[in-house]
């Protein structure tokens, strides 16, 4: 019962919200361009409950709450003009207007891309809400101590220095120092310092250590051997106005997207830390841990998960939204859709990649729980 309340319920609530927003992005633009929608499902498998709206869409919750989908009227792939003509013969003139496949390329692209971008918008709104009502930290990061023979010590950083930037990203808060260091995919980090009124830059090569995050979960962390403290021992947390909050919300969302992209690149280079990849089990665990810290913390993790869902879905992998956009790009270049055989080949590759990723992340999750 305790596991249900502490982990499963918060996880289901979080996943339901971010999946609903994602699918509603698809749904909204489908309806905007006159595409019929037969099903709007949260979850997969057997339906638990649902209802039909006046346009005939079945809104439903299903037994496996690990995703969702929007099904379009006459949903199927069309690989040639002949197949499209054959499809149109099955429907009346009125119903033909509701088919997704007959819509212009730009409309189909917007309908597909709307899901991931709805996730980004949700994250921006959550961050803006937090910055307006809970505030945003603007405490300057001053170095209180530099460990002997540490990477920072070797580079020439001293106690009393104020960190102004990391890899050319302006450091506005003491909270950003660790985030910027650990999100870096390069072997060396450029740290901008303010020392006695002078601006200096030091190149530091961090060490990777096995540690624990603030929630007690095992994690590999990059350290440079410094202890930081608020400047003049004063915490500066400010509630922001709507425009300023929106600016920093967009900035935070972009930072997460950029860090995720750099991590993907680092994995292809063989330098990324793949042990940090997690699946539903790890997400459920962290969601439950964060939920205990309060509503604002729960909203924050929801924003980060929403960004991750949007980002992953934009990857050019068949079966994901990004895969469909890739097909549309080929269609634009070639002047026609790819052949059925080619698309089916891509879908097999996409299925293999997704199953491999699911297996790998599940293995990481179970290892994190000490089962391997």
Provide the pLDDT for residue 60: 94
Residue 1, pLDDT above cutoff 60: no
By residue range, what is the domain housing residue 79?
Answer: 2-133+302-368
Let me know whether 15 and 129 are in one domain. Answer: yes
| Residue pLDDT, tens place only, 15-26 | 999 999 999 999
In the listed set 184, 206, 238, which residue is the last one of a domain according to the structure?
Answer: 238
Let me know whether 114 and 165 are in one domain. Answer: no
In a domain, 208, yes or no: yes
| Residue pLDDT, tens place only, 313-323 | 999 988 889 99
CA atoms within 13 A on the CB side of 338: 17
In the listed set 238, 257, 289, which residue is the last one of a domain according to the structure?
Answer: 238
pLDDT band at 241 (very low <50, low <70, confident <90, very high): very high
Per residue, what are the HEC states of the chain? CHHHHHHHHHHHHHHHHHHHHHHHHHHHHHHHCCCCEEEEEEEEEEEEEEEECCCCCEEEEEEEEEEEEEEECCCCCCCCHHHHHHHHCCCCHHHHCCCHHHCCHHHHHHHHHHHHHHHHHHHHHHHHHHHHHCCEECCCEEEEEECCCCHHHHHCCCCCCEEEEECCEECCCCCHHHHHHHHCCCCCEEEEEEECCEEEEEEECCEEEEEECCCCCEEEEEECCEEEEEHHHCCCEECCCHHHHHHHHHHHHHHHHHHHHHHHHHHHHCCCCHHHCCCHHHHHHHHHHHHCCCHHHHHHHHHHHHHHHHHHHCCCCCCCHHHHHHHHHHHHHHCCCCCHHHHHHHHHHHHHHHHHHHHHHHHHHHHHCCCC
- Structurally, the chain folds into a number of domains equal to 2
Q: What are phi and psi of 41, to 5 degrees?
A: -115, 135
Let me know whether 347 and 307 are in one domain. Answer: yes
pLDDT band at 276 (very low <50, low <70, confident <90, very high): low
Let me know whether 53 and 168 are in one domain. Answer: no
> Is residue 252 annotated as a catalytic residue, yes or no?
no
In the listed set 190, 217, 238, which residue is the last one of a domain according to the structure?
Answer: 238
- Residues counted in the chain: 372
Q: For 263-291, what is the mean pLDDT? A: 73
Let me know whether 78 and 177 are in one domain. Answer: no
Let me know whether 114 and 147 are in one domain. Answer: no
Inter-residue contact 255 to 124 (CB < 8 Å): no
Per residue, what are the HEC states of 109-143? HHHHHHHHHHHHHHHHHHHHHHHHHCCEECCCEEE
Let me know whether 212 and 146 are in one domain. Answer: yes
- Which is catalytic among the residues 23, 168, 212, 331? 23
In a domain, 269, yes or no: no
In a domain, 246, yes or no: no
Let me know whether 50 and 153 are in one domain. Answer: no
Let me know whether 11 and 122 are in one domain. Answer: yes
Instruction: Identify the weakest region by mean pLDDT among 86-90, 104-108, 132-136, 240-244.
Output: 86-90
| Residue pLDDT, tens place only, 49-91 | 999 999 889 999 999 888 899 999 877 665 566 666 677 778 7
Let me know whether 23 and 113 are in one domain. Answer: yes
């Amino acid at each position: 019962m305790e596991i249900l309340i502490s982990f499963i319920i918060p996880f289901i609530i979080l996943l339901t919200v971010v999946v609903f927003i994602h699918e509603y992005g698809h749904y909204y633009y489908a309806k905007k361009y006159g595409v019929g929608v037969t099903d709007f499902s949260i979850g997969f498998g057997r339906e638990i409950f649902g209802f039909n709206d006046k346009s005939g869409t079945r809104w439903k919750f299903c037994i496996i709450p690990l995703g969702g989908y929007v099904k379009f009227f006459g949903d199927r792939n069309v690989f040639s003009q002949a197949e499209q003509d054959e499809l149109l013969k099955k429907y009346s003139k009125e119903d033909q207007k509701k088919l997704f496949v007959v819509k212009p390329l730009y409309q189909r692209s917007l309908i597909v891309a709307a899901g991931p971008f709805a996730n980004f918008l949700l994250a921006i709104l959550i961050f803006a809400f937090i910055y307006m009502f809970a505030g945003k930290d603007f405490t300057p990061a001053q170095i209180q101590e530099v460990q002997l023979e540490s990477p920072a010590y070797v580079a020439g950083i001293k106690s009393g220095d104020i960190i102004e930037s990391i890899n050319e990203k302006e450091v506005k808060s003491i909270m950003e120092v660790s985030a910027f260091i650990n999100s870096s995919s390069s072997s060396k980090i450029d740290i901008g310092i303010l020392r006695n009124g002078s601006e200096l830059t030091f190149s530091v090569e961090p060490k990777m250590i096995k540690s624990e995050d603030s929630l007690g979960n095992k994690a590999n962390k990059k350290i440079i051997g410094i202890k930081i403290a608020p400047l003049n021992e004063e915490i500066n947390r400010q509630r922001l106005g709507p425009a300023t909050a929106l600016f920093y919300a967009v900035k935070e969302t972009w930072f997460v997207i950029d860090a995720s992209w750099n991590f993907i690149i680092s994995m292809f280079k063989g330098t990324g830390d793949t042990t940090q990849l997690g699946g539903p089990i790890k997400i459920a665990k962290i969601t439950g841990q964060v939920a205990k810290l309060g509503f604002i913390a729960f909203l924050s993790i929801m924003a980060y998960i929403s960004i991750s869902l949007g980002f992953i879905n934009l990857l050019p992998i068949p079966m994901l939204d990004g895969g469909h956009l890739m097909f549309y790009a080929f269609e634009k270049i070639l002047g026609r859709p790819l052949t059925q055989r080619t698309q089916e080949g891509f879908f097999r590759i996409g299925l293999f990649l997704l199953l491999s990723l699911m297996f790998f992340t599940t293995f990481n999750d179970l290892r994190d729980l000490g089962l391997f």
